[in-house]
Structure 1
Amino acid sequence: MPSTVTRAERTLATRRRMVQAAYDLFCRDGYLGATISAIADRAGVAVPTIYYTFHTKSALLGDVLGAAIIGFDRWREPPPEPIVMAEVMGWHRWWSEFQAAPTSEMALWVFVRHGAAILQRVAPLVPALHVATGDPEAGQIVRTSEERRVESYREVVNVLADKPAGLREGLTRASATDVLVALFSAEAYQCLVLRGWSHRRCTAFFAELLSTQLLAPG
């Protein structure tokens, strides 16, 4: 039994190393510029190891996106289909803290603080993701990721709406989800960073903006 566990841990460590290498090169060279050979070399593995693990470059991109969202130290592999978003949200270390926050304002701060860290990791991938949409398989992975972002934000809004104070008067959960999707994105974060904004300033800006747009006063 111990050797089986050790082998599993070693396999997971190798997978994470390949995903991290792919992330680094996708960010630096883009989706087309980052070759499987270069990724394998950076990860210290053979090219067949990458194909054996991920099968295709587009599937590797899916793992990279998942790891950037969940955290490279927590990523294992994509969840099995069909996805139950309420369960997947529990993969985030901060989700229980978010759910336990006593007011919608305090919960929103937990979400923005940790969500901005996710945007910080995903933002450098934005150019690669835009190019990847030109490939049918990779494009589908990008679209699916965006659909899941919307679903995850819907879960966030549902929690906020059920807390004391809740949402702004007259703001439906559907509209609140639309606002969150439009304003709290990797593209918006990257735009601010390219203008010279620090991560701390971006986080404070999103917290103030989303509080004003989503929450009831006080």
Structure 2
Amino acid sequence: MAEAVNPPKRTRREQAAATRERIIRAAVEVFSEAGFMGARMGDIATRSGVAVQTVYFTFHTKAELLQACFDHAVLGPERLPPMEQPFFADLVAARSGRAALAAFVDGNTAILTRAAVIKEVAESAPHEPDAAAVVANSERLRREGLSQIVALIADRWSLRAGLTVEDATDLLLMLSSSGTYLTLRRYGWSDEKYAAWLADTLAKQLLERPGRRRER
């Protein structure tokens, strides 16, 4: 009879990472149910199966935990910033402006499925400086990233006549926002329907000749 093989014990770092992951997942649930103001660290500790002291030791404040939840959602399973995720490589390799926008939409939709709700939680407490700081930081990072995407598209394909890079960035920010995504989801749209609409709308709004490469 073969002897049972005990799985290797996790290192202290692995245990800490697993605990952090468990707390973040529990926090997303509690924040989604109670909002930023209503969420209590004790409830998050109970939901994650750890002592409340562990939650405070790991994240220190509720605002820091909210930021960690948002970062966790944006980085995704690859734990990579958006510009290092697979969709961005597809965007760079695209052979038309429309294909580049479609690649962006694929990546953006995947991020929104994870991050839109937690972003809404942060936006629901505008008079709370800590929550407002999370929103401001996320918007700053989004604008920086999307402005790079618009600049790349403008360089390789023409933007719509009269549309500046700055205005195109504003449109991309607005149309691909978590608010637009959640509104359409609440109207019953699937992620697939939303992504198809967004790709088509962005091509019409941003590109001079959707799907056609600019002649050099």
Instruction: Please give the range of the TM-score, normalised by the shorter of the 2 chains.
Output: 0.7 to 0.9
Q: Is 1:65–2:41 an aligned residue pair?
A: no
What displacement does 1:94 show? 2.3
Corresponding residue to 2:13 among 3, 8, 25: 8
Residue 180 of structure 2 corresponds to residue 188 of structure 1: yes
Tell me the secondary structure at the aligned position of residue 95 of structure 2: coil
Q: Distance in 2 between matches of 1:113 and 1:124?
A: 18
Moved over 6 A (4+): none
RMSD of Structure 2 on Structure 1 (CA)? 2.2
Q: For each residue in 1:29-64, what CA deviation from the matched residue of structure 2 results, as whole angstroms up to 9, or x when unmatched?
A: 211222111111122221111111111000111111
Q: Partner of 1:157 in structure 2?
A: 150
Aligned to 1:204: 196
- Runs of at least 5 residues in structure 1 that lack an aligned partner in the other structure: 77-87
Q: Measure, in 2, the Cα distance between the counterparts of 1:13 and 1:74.
A: 16
Q: Partners of 2:27 and 2:74 in 1: how far apart?
A: 15
CA contact under 8 A between 1:94 and 1:114: conserved in structure 2? yes
Q: Which amino acid aligns with 1:130?
A: E
Counterpart AA for 1:106 = A
Give the aligned partner of residue 120 of structure 1. 113
Task: Report the CA distance between 1:171 and its aligned residue.
Answer: 1.9
CA shift for structure 1 position 127: 4.0
Structure number with greater Rg is 2
> 2:3: which partner in 1?
none
Identity of aligned residues (%): 37
The 8 Å contact of residues 83 and 145 in structure 2, kept in 1 or not, is answered as no
Question: What TM-score, normalized by structure 2, do the two folds share?
Answer: 0.85
Shift, 1:101, TM fit:
2.0
Contact 1:67 1:74 in 2 (8 A): no
* Deviation of 1:126 (Å): 4.5
Is the Cα–Cα contact under 8 Å of residues 122 and 134 in structure 2 kept in the other structure?
no
Q: Does 1:132 align with 2:137?
A: no
Matched, 1:172 2:177: no
SS in 2 for 1:168: coil
2 CA distance for matches of 1:101 and 1:69?
Answer: 23
Give the aligned partner of residue 109 of structure 1: 102
After superposition, residues 41-56 of structure 1 pair within 5 angstroms as 41-56=46-61
Give TM-score, length-normalised by structure 1. Answer: 0.84
Corresponding residue for residue 146 of structure 1? 139
Separation in structure 2 between the aligned mates of residue 121 and residue 14 of structure 1, nearest angstrom: 20
Alpha-carbon deviation of 1:202? Answer: 0.8
Does structure 1 residue 92 correspond to structure 2 residue 97? no
1:34 aligns with 2:39: yes
CA distance in 1, matches of 2:203, 2:31: 33
Whole-Å Cα distance in 2 between the matches of residues 102 and 7 of structure 1? 47
Displacement after TM superposition at 1:100 (Å): 2.1
